[in-house]
Each structure stands twice: as C-alpha cells, then as structure tokens.
Structure 1
Amino acid sequence: MKKNISIFGCGWLGFPLAQSFVNKGFFVKGSTTSEEKIEVLKSNNIEPFLFNLEELPNNILDFLNSEILIVNIPSKNIEGFKNLITFIEKSSIKKVLFVSSTSVFESAKEIITEATILKDCPLKDIEELFQKNTHFKTTILRFSGLLGYQRKPGNWFKNGKVIPNPEGVVNMIHQDDCIEIIKQLVLQNCWNDTFNASADTHPKRRDFYTKAFLEVGRTMPIFNENDKKSIKIIGNEKLKKTLNFEFKYPNLMQLPSH
C-alpha cells in the first residue's frame, strides 16, 4: 500500500523532493503558488494544489488527506501558520516535518548544536507552534544556507554589493543533501525531534565567495574589511549519528560547478 505524503511548497527544494518521494513509491500531493506549475506537477505524478499560506483554500483538507505533511515555505506569517495548524488538527495528518533555518541562532564562540538557545524571532515562535501541538508529531529540520543547481553563491552579490564579515565562516548545504536528509527522516521514522543540517566544512567567507565568483566567471568580490568578525558554526553531529548519514557534498570548497 502506498504511503501518502503532502508537501506544502513545491519550489526550488520542494519540487525535486516531491519527485524523489514519487520515485520511492509514495503518493505525493504538492502545493504551488504558480498556475503555470500545475501541469508540471501533474506530469511528474504529483497531485497539484494551488494556494498560499495567506489564503488557504476550501479544499485544504483534500491536500491534508495524508499521513505525513512536509511544510517547506519561507513565510514568517505566524497567524497564517496558526490557521494552517487548525486545519491539520482536523485532518488525517499524523506527522509533520517543518523545514526551518539555522538563522534562529545568534553567532557564538562555541559550535552550535540542537541544545543551543534560540534567539527571539518569528521563526522560533512558529517552530514552537508545531512542537507544542499534541494532535500530531513534529520534527523540526533547520537547514543552513541552501545552494546547488540554480542557486549559485557566485551570483548572490550583484551590482557591486559588498560582502560583509570576510573573516567569518559560511554554513551551507547542497540541495541533494537536503532532499536525502528529509527522505531519511521520513523513512527512518524520526519524529518528535529537532535537527540542524549543515555541511561538514565551514570555510571563511573570503575564501568561499572568491572561489564562487570565479566559478561563474565574475571578477573578485568586494569585501567589507572593516566589518568585525562574527562566527557561527553549525554542528551536524546529531543528524549524522541519528540517521547514520554521510553527506554527498561535505566539503563546501569542493562543490560541483553545475
């Protein structure tokens, strides 16, 4: 019997994630905010739904007629998420994977783990909305900066924009690793937990962006040399140990140029 999974947000990460679950034999429902993408989802055997968090449709319960829900949208709209949760409570959803961000952490001298205190921010409040709800199990997955394929770091600072904190470090993760981590959390039934996800290495921003600019054919980036150094290193040991996970792209200085 096929497992049903619903993916709220079939964009840069959610769409290939949905394809990956289809290939694993799941029946997948996916949401999009773009009418043009409806046919794309259909042609990839993903049941399409057109809506956004701010205007949840009358057929939202049809979308939520699954066992598992993956919430993968960048919104910080707390009221919108509260409204979504009221519908989840009425649905067949038993497990929620909420894709969050390591931006919930301040810079720190020590390596940041899942036990590190979060800063006060909307994303922290949204995480808690899901975690505290007893109608379903929630796992929080916090990704560092997302890159890979169309998202090339060498294109991020355009029109002479100065890059801050050159002596700081980068925390990033490739799309392929993001997809595999989500799949493994689902397949290994890792619920009611929290994970930080970042590649193994944390090169200096100066080194990383200099290489990234050269890879897309741009001249040397401009750095703010007066910007004070702040460090934030996201640890991934809990994730690797729990899932027995090995990153496809552990070294951010050795990424493919695709």
Structure 2
Amino acid sequence: MKTISIIGLGWLGEPLGIHLQDKGFKVLGSTTSEEKRKRLFLKGLEVIRFSLNPHPEGLGFHALFQPEILVVNIPPRTRSGNGEFHLEQLKYLRSLIDSSPIEKVIFVSSTGIYPETPSKEKYAEDYLLTHENAGNEILLRAELLMGKDQNYDLTIVRFGGLMGKDRIPGKYFSGKENVAGHTRVNFIHQNDAVGILAWVIEKGLWIQTFNGVAPIHPFRREIYEKNSAELGIAPPASYQNELDGIDRLIDSRKILETGYEFEFPDPLGFSYLSTSN
C-alpha cells in the first residue's frame, strides 16, 4: 500500500485525502487546527498538526515527509499581503523536502499565473512566463522556487476558479450592481480538481505542468442566472453594458490528451450543495 502525504487538508485537500484513501492509498495529511485534526481522524484520515509560520511548527510533523509522494496544497493569501510570507513558507518547506526521502511532489498552483491580458489563443502550459508578464508574480516565484535544483520529480497543476459544493459563483454577485457578465469563465469543479490530482498520481504523470480547467467556458451571466434559477439566489441587480469579445481563456487540452475525462466539463452543469440564500 503506497502512502501519500498531503500538506493542507483544506477545501481541496480533505476530499482528495478521502478519495485517495478510497482508492486504496494510505493517506497522511496536515492541518493547522486541533479541532479539525480530530474531525478528520473520525473520517479515517491520519492527520498531524503542522504549520508554516513561516518556520515549521507542530509535533511529529517529520512523519509527513517520509512517504514517496507529497502533495503541496497551501495557496498564497496574496489578498491579505504581498505574498512574501508564502514564499518564506515554501523555503522552509523545501528544506524539509530536500532532507527527506520524498521522490515525487505535486505542487498545486493557479491559472492566475497567466497574463491578465485577453488573447485570441488560449493560455497553455508552454506559454513563456516571465516576471514582467505573469498575472501574479508570487505564483511564478513559488513555482520557480519549488522547481529550482530539486532532487524530486515535480508536477505542477494550475487550477482555475475552484467551484462546487459550497462555492457557488452566483452567490458572490447576488444583488450586486454593474456586474461583469460578458466574459467567459475558467472554472473547475471540486470533483475534477480532486480527480486530476489523483489521475496524476495513478498514471505517473511526473515532471509535467497541467492546467486544471473545465474545457467549456460559458459566460459569467449564464452561470449567475442558472445559479439563481436553480438555487434560489437573487441574480445580479445589473450587468456592465459591455459587448462580448476576446477573453482570457485557459487551455485544458494537455490533461485531456492524457485520457482524463471530466466529470463536469461544463460549468453550467456544476453541482452544488443546496442553499437557502
């Protein structure tokens, strides 16, 4: 039985851990909360309290760095700072990985790394990113840090907007004025985000970079109106008076070419938890 360690059993990491466990893997994961550690333990997950503040804190956390495969799922909180703290976290994490027997690492990144500029061509994994053109330089620096002089096989997965379960796009714009509804989305359902990470592990897709985005890109207004009709959410009060045009779209062909099949290829068909909002 192969053991997989997951740093960050959050909104994505927790269902990933349960999914891999159901697939027959032994899963070891981390959380920063004792309350959550106990809750996840009841779900059968072996969980260790571990924090990067930015230096490592916790009890017995070195066990997280013993398996062959490690999934790093600690997204930067760039909205609450300049992201330098996140890079410091990753530096300490790298030192732990470099002194461990870990052979393979999946690093969860974001399509926010691509330029913010709309383009006739979809942004693909081989797009040449620089510090000048990156949509989020912290994301680029994080990927470069994880890939610099590493002695492990690194696969990077860049996810689009993570939706599904309790993350409902229409909820965030309910009743708001002047909402941008004319651009198309780069969303991915939680089930497919979990599915792609598990697919990389099961198929041995190492030393690669993949975009994790649903292959169909509906307009934002279509999604907001569908959420409103199906989930009882008030739609946006008004939309921006803009014509549909060229969008900033992310290409998902590479992961499709490996044989992965999306459970939710179209964000208009995403499933959500019921809501009374």
Query: Residue 168 of structure 1: which of 180, 183, 190 is its match?
Result: 183
Residues in 2 aligned to 1:67 and 1:135: alpha-carbon distance in whole angstroms:
12
Q: Deviations over 1:184-208 (max 9, x none)?
A: 1001111110000111211112222
Counterpart CA distance in 1 for 2:72 and 2:167 is 21
Equivalent pair of 1:9/1:71 in contact (CA under 8 Å):
yes
For normalisation by structure 2, the TM-score amounts to 0.86
**How has the CA–CA distance of structure 1 residues 72 and 227 changed in structure 2, closer, same or farther, with 3 Å as cutoff?**
farther
| Structure 2 counterpart of 1:110, from 121, 140, 149 | 121
- For 1:138-153, what aligned pairs fall within 5 Å after superposition? 138-153=154-169
Match status 1:98 vs 2:97? no
What secondary structure, in the 3-state scheme, does the structure 1 residue paired with 2:16 have? helix
2:87 matched residue in structure 1: 78
Whether the 8 Å contact between 1:215 and 1:257 is mirrored in structure 2 is no
Q: How does 1:103-252 map to 2 (within 5 A)?
A: 103-106=112-115, 107=117, 108-118=119-129, 119-120=133-134, 121-157=137-173, 160=176, 162-164=178-180, 166-221=181-236, 222-225=238-241, 231-242=247-258, 244-252=259-267
- Report the alpha carbon displacement of residue 57 of structure 1 after superposing the two structures with TM: 2.1
Give the drift of 1:113.
0.7
TM-score normalised by length of structure 1 = 0.92
Q: Where does structure 1 differ by over 4 angstroms across 4 or more consecutive aligned residues? A: 226-230
Cross-structure match for 2:57: 57
What is the DSSP-based 3-state SS (H/G/I as helix, E as strand, rest coil) of the residue aligned with 1:61?
helix
Query: What is residue 66 of structure 1 aligned with on the other side?
Result: 67
1:9-31 superposed Cα distances (whole Å, 9 cap, x missing partner): 11111101001111122121111
Aligned residue pairs total 255
Equivalent residues of 1:154, 1:214 under 8 A apart: no
Aligned-partner Cα distance in 2 for 1:162–1:69? 43
Q: Separation in 2 of the partners of 1:101 and 1:227? A: 27
Residues 5, 28 of structure 1: 8 Å contact kept: yes
Percent identity of paired positions between Structure 1 and Structure 2? 36
Post-superposition CA distance 1:52-92 (Å, at most 9, x none) = 22241263322111111101121241111011101100111
Deviation at 1:42, TM superposition (A): 1.4
Please list every run of 5 or more consecutive structure 2 residues that lacks an aligned counterpart in the other structure. Answer: 77-82
Cα distance change on mapping 1:69 and 1:110 into 2, 3 Å:
same
Q: Are the aligned partners of 1:105 and 1:117 in contact in 2 as well (CA < 8 Å)?
A: no
Contact in 1 for aligned 2:65/2:102 (Cα 8 Å): yes
For 2:92, what is the secondary structure of its paired residue? Answer: helix
- The RMSD of aligned alpha carbons is 1.9
Equivalent-residue separation in structure 1 for 2:24 and 2:265 (angstroms): 28
Q: Distance in 2 between matches of 1:161 and 1:89?
A: 50
